[in-house]
A and B are shown apart, each in its own frame.
Chain A
Amino acid sequence: MALIFAFFFFIVNNAITNLENIGKGYSFSFLWEASNYDINQTLIEYDSRSPHWRAAIVGIINTLLVAVAGVVLATIVGFLFGVLRLSSNWLINRVVYVYIEYVRNVPVLLHILLVHGIVVNTLPIPKNALMAFDGALFLTNRGFYTPKPLFEPAMWAVFIAFIIGIGFTIWFKGYAQKVQDATGKIYPVFFISLGAIILFPILVYFLAGSPMNFEYPELKGFNFKGGLVLRPEFVALWLALSLYTAAFIAEIVRAGIQAISHGQTEAAFALGIKPGRTMQLVVIPQALRVIIPPLSSQYLNITKNSSLAIAIGYMDIVATIGGISLNQTGREMECMTIVLAIYLAFSLMISAFMNWYNKRMKLVER
């Protein structure tokens, strides 16, 4: 024990001496100096005169953006592939198996570089952009362009309708449960909720006279102007991370479903429960209990792997504060402390949430 403390004292002492020798203190005041560099994807206002701390915020937002988008896509694709992997159809089963084995056994950095290479090298220049969905999407090697929705004031009504729909669904779910407990009558909760959340706002949208316009991207000079743009770095990182993680999630889902013994399904059928409700009430809740712990660590992995963005020039937290800011100011200690602290905070938050969820889902044992 004493040895460990002596060791810590030793390295901290070394750090202090070394920093003094080269005349650097340990202070975060550099964060308020102008950053003097540009970032190609900014969701908040930022330019090269902004201070370093703002660059860090831009980096954090970019990291979160790609992590959240990656989690969503990876979950959808992963669950789909996990189910297909269990399909009795030999052909699709084998195709998904080959995909999963290929993806899992090749480093994620390679996937990122490969997808980036394909986007940048094989897609056409903006002048010859590939058009998809009748002008709704332009694919070029400078990015993917799509029309940007412009909201008029009346759009508020639609948002309010959407929120009312969600509130109604929550209330209706409880009401349907009560009715079912009292009388045994089952309402089609799913379809009614779907109607309340999606159809109702759409109805309001048309009643309000379609209060939304689109700003279409236009080819001006060598590139598109206007519209929404997904930059090639973001697209490459997002696709590569999600498709990589989806392979792992697929295996987790497969293991989770296989862990439920067939007797459970048979018992539910014997009780006269329909296949759909068997899946919903018997199989999925039990499978989720097996799936969620490893799934949460995959979500963590996406967040951590998003740091590989630096290899293709996507400006995430490692590339901004831990890369350019570090090189410009020479504040290795402070910059790396910030980066490490932020990742640690992300990880602890995700694992705290997952632990809470896991506890809620846990089998109550005597």
Chain B
Amino acid sequence: MSSEKSHIAGEHPDLPPPAMEVGVIGWINHNLFSSWSNRIITVLTAYFLYIIIPPLLDWLFLDAVFVADSRDDCRAIAKAAGEDLGACWAFIGKRFQLFVYGWYPVEERWRVNLSFILMMAALVPVLFDNIPNRKQGLWFSLIAPVIIYWLLIGGMGLTPVSTDKFGGLMLTMVIGVTGIVGSLPIGIALALGRQSHMPALRMVCVAFIEFIRGVPLITLLFVASTMLNYFLPPGTTFDLLLRVLIMVTLFSSAYIAEVIRGGLQAIPNGQIEAADSMGLKYWQSMRLIILPQALKISIPGIVNSFIGLYKDTTLVIIIGLFDPLGMGRASLADTKWQGLSTEIYVFVAIFFFVSCFSMARYSLYLEKKLYTGH
């Protein structure tokens, strides 16, 4: 421009960057208002959030009642404060014990607490490999399920507790962990069977996997609850929880088998041939060469299956077991708290979100750690 001083070439002083390009304004300009379509989308989204968020916050926190004795009490408190009725969280607080322990006898609940602690302790060596004494820790993880089983069921010095007292969070944990621990080895066996050179074995594995994957879990649970007894020797009875555990494990193992098959197929044939030429037997080459590579590739898929299994544990309410969701619905029968289903669903949703989201994050972490490519 004419009004500006002229400078000798190369001696022009540094100008500050244009205000529209850097800092907060630059970021907003680039990420929210870069083009006409972007501007429209931003405004519409902001308006949508404005419609949704304030009422949601009101309901969840601002108008919510946290301490009360009944639903009418909740209403009265909200009215006294001159607010609309928000969520009545008092209910969750009152029934919290039920959500966690189910109908487990009150004086025996320390056993459930101890089991939770043991389970957490057993998980640490499995999940993280940079802790001291990991080898001893893994042995502990192996025997921990036995101890937990003994703690929960009782016998041998402890008061026996029947499995129909199981419920709530604890039931979810029992089904989820059993399913996860049990389905991995069965899944690996099925995947290897599907790749086997023995036609009969292969056919049985394919039929099993395709059958399980072709029908919904709920129908299998119905099978477990109505007709599994027919397939057992006359006179044997099985308890419902055990039948459910078997079905959930089998169901999940079929999905895991397919994930692992994907991993197995990704391993180049040269690896097997190399193992053969080294003189390794089938099981040796599988254990030392193929499976470590295949399992590593399949980890994200396996964790996804586990998340699915964990979410599917809610289905047991349909055949009459009481996980947190079932507990919540059961406690709605109390006339003092009728009509609070939304609060219960939101509470249980938050619980599942926290556990599943952390599993998904762990899977991402593992993927990054095991990535040995470029």
Contacts and interface: CB of A to CB of B under 8 A. Distances in A.
Interface of A: 1, 4, 11, 14-15, 17-19, 21, 87-92, 95, 101-102, 104-110, 113-114, 117-118, 121, 304-305, 307-308, 310-311, 318, 322, 326, 332-333, 336, 339-340, 343-344, 346-348
B303 to A, nearest CB: 13
A87 B41 contact: yes
A91 B32 contact: yes
A19 B230 contact: yes
Given A307-B218, A310-B218, A344-B214, A114 B349 contact: yes
Contact of A89 (B32, B201, B214, B216): B32
A95 B45 contact: yes
A88 B356 CA distance: 28
B16 interface: no
A114 B345 contact: yes
Contacts of B318: 308, 310-311
Interface in B36-65: 38, 41-42, 45-46, 48-49
B38 A14 contact: no
Interface stretch (B149-157, B181-189, B276-284, B308-316): B308-316
B345 A117 contact: yes
Contacts of B271: none
B353 A106 contact: yes
B360 A326 contact: no
B25 to A, nearest CB: 14
A121 B214 contact: no
10 contacts: A19-B230, A107-B312, A107-B325, A305-B216, A322-B222, A343-B214, A343-B219, A344-B211, A347-B215, A348-B210
Given A14-B230, A333-B230, 20 more contacts: A1-B198, A4-B201, A15-B231, A18-B229, A88-B31, A89-B45, A91-B45, A101-B357, A105-B352, A105-B353, A105-B356, A114-B346, A117-B345, A308-B218, A308-B318, A332-B226, A332-B227, A336-B219, A339-B219, A347-B214
B363 to A, nearest CB: 12
Contact of B216 (A92, A95, A304, A336): A304
A15 B230 contact: yes
B8 interface: no
Contact of B49 (A95, A109, A336): A95
Interface string B137-155: 0000000000000000000
Given A87-B41, A106-B311, A310-B218, A1 B201 contact: yes
A305 B308 CA distance: 12
A307 B318 CA distance: 11
Contacts of B204: 4
A336 B222 contact: yes
B1 interface: no
A333 to B, nearest CB: 6
- Interface majority SS (helix, strand, loop, mixed), chain B: helix
Contacts of A310: 218, 318
A17 B233 CA distance: 9
B223 interface: yes
B24 interface: no
Interface of A is mostly: helix
B320 to A, nearest CB: 12
Interface residues of B, number: 53
B230 A307 contact: no
Given A110-B314, A318-B218, A336 B41 contact: no
Contact of A340 (B48, B201, B219, B349): B219
A105 B360 contact: yes
Contacts of B219: 307, 318, 322, 336, 339-340, 343
Nearest to A22: B230
Nearest to A116: B341
Contacts of B227: 332-333, 336
B105 interface: no
Nearest to B307: A105
Closest 9 CB pairs of A and B: A347-B214, A105-B356, A90-B31, A304-B216, A107-B311, A307-B216, A332-B226, A11-B231, A107-B314
Contacts of B213: 347
Nearest to A84: B41
A114 B218 contact: no
A66 to B, nearest CB: 13
Given A89-B41, A311-B318, A333-B230, A113 B222 contact: no
Contacts of B357: 101, 105
Contacts of B345: 110, 113-114, 117
Nearest to B37: A89
B339 interface: yes
Nearest to A310: B318
Contacts of B218: 307-308, 310, 318
Contacts of A118: 342
Contacts of B342: 114, 117-118, 121
A109 B325 contact: yes
B232 interface: yes
B216 A91 contact: no
B200 interface: yes
A109 B42 CA distance: 33
A209 B41 CA distance: 41
Nearest to A114: B345
A33 to B, nearest CB: 20
A311 B46 CA distance: 36
A336 B42 contact: no
B352 A106 contact: yes
A21 B229 CA distance: 13
B348 interface: yes
A4 B198 CA distance: 13
B34 interface: yes
Interface string B209-243: 01101111111001100110111111000000000
Contacts of A19: 230
B345 to A, nearest CB: 4
Contacts of A347: 213-215
A340 B353 contact: no
Contacts of A336: 219, 222-223, 226-227
A92 B49 CA distance: 10
A15 B230 CA distance: 5
